[in-house]
Structure 1
Amino acid sequence: MPVGRWLARFLGRAARDLLVVASLVVPTCAVLWLWGHFAGFDYVMAISSEEWRSRRDASQSLWTPGWLWWTVFFGAGFGLSAGAVRHQGRDAWAITVACWSLLFGAALMHFGENLQFALPDHDPCLYEGCWPLYWQAVVVSAPMAVTLVVVIVLGWWAGRVGVWVRRVVPGLVFVGLMFLLALVWEPWVLPFLQGPPPWQGAAP
């Protein structure tokens, strides 16, 4: 076999293997970004005093170049699993990566939300039911959860949907929903989470 053809096959195989690895690593990193950094959104504590319930930090700011970069980068990463492994009818690899990301995200969400209760002398919850425990996490993770469901649906119908559609659409969904959430976070969502739960009053 000529050296040029062998090299082309080797590089092609290496690129496919790299795509398979990246298609798993990037969504996993997106989950870590969401729950390690809270994706730039202010975090409302369930146990803090009324005067200081929201964790604010310059690194948590929305609409910064870094936040925009990571949002677009991770959005594009959700479509990497489409067509990364050969399939017939259904893209099992894309479905597997999406299901893994959902399960890993749910586990990390549960762990991260309960960190505020890790110390034995932590403050009591400000409201009954420790509002907004878990509810806040559901709101912040909604763009990623919807995107992963889209990946699963497109992967299930992979035989009828082009590979580039399955690679591009999840990223557009994620970026669009993240931008929408960022637009409404400060004026509407954050004040709502900082106030009392809609179904309960303040704890006595």
Structure 2
Amino acid sequence: MKNCIKYITLISIFVFWLFPCNAEELTIYQIKEQMNIALEDMDNALQKLSEKYDEFKPEHPMGKTLWSALEKSRENIKFIYSSKIIYSELFLSTLEYDTEVFRRFIQFASIGRIPLSISSAVLDASLDLELKSRLIKTSETDQVEVKVNTINKQGEDINNCTVWYVPFIKDDDEHKLKFDRLSTPTTGMIPAGKWLIWTEKKGKLGPKVPFLCGDDGRREREIDIFSPE
């Protein structure tokens, strides 16, 4: 009997090693907790700023915009985490990037006035969350199948372009991603949110343009972007 138990235990360990438990659910809860803390701290930071500076009061245009972004972010993140969708790794990563933006706002708030770039980033993060929530509500998915056509200014197809995309608030080489195949067309799965997208061919880059993925709530999307000149 003891040998049987030992054998079963060894088999269980071996199976666990081959197929480790998915830690995604825990990761979701971790990100949720971090986001909620960041939004609560941002609320407190805005309260303190509004006591010192008129532009952060709810009745001021800038203050009204930031307070609205905060409230919308709370509503959207609550809905996102109430969904039963198993989110992709990239989707979860972009949620972490949004959290980082709110934390940066809090850091600057602790030392005084907020640079315009930081306030703008908060609005971008808020929009990112809104796009995510919209797609999930409408299509019950976190990603869009995006078909990209690469064209010149005359509207003619230009083949063999690499299509790059990057989170709008993480515009750097470290975070950029590319479609698996060259154009045109080329198709890839992109999580809902605010992105930058552009082309590359023979070392030349096309213009970076904002892409609001999920803004129409559909699972599939086809877009045209310019090739390098």
TM-score, normalized by the shorter chain, greater than 0.5: no
Q: Which one scores higher on RCO, CA 8 angstroms, separation ≥ 6?
A: 1
Q: Which has the larger radius of gyration?
A: 2
Structure 1 length normalisation: TM-score? 0.27
Structure 2 length normalisation: TM-score? 0.25
Question: Which of the two has greater strand per residue?
Answer: 2
